[in-house]
């Protein structure tokens, strides 16, 4: 993954799904009491799900 791709993913901070180069990306903001963490879920989008 290129550096510019990481920067794009880093700026996404909404619990919505984003279509990122054929992948479904979801970032969840969590707070476990000690520190805030971002959980990033990435899954391949099926060919018939692409818009």
Tracing tokens 């969590």 back to the chain, one arrives at 30
Percent of the chain residues past pLDDT 70, beyond the cut: 20
Tell me the pLDDT tens digit for each residue of 16-38: 566 667 777 776 666 666 666 66
Residue ranges covered by each domain of the chain: 3-49
What φ, ψ does residue 21 adopt, rounded to 5°? 50, 45
Locate 47 and state its tokens: 């060919």
d(CA 23, CA 25): 6
Locate 24 and state its tokens: 């479904």
Can you name the residues that pair with 40 across neighbouring β-strands? Answer: 27
Task: Give the global pTM.
Answer: 0.29
Total residue count of the chain as it appears in this document = 51
d(CA 39, CA 47): 25
């Amino acid at each position: 993954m290129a550096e510019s791709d990481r920067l794009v993913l880093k700026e996404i901070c909404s619990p919505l799904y984003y279509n990122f180069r054929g992948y479904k990306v979801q970032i969840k903001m969590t707070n476990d009491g000690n520190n805030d963490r971002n959980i990033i879920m990435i899954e391949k989008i099926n060919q018939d799900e692409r818009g």
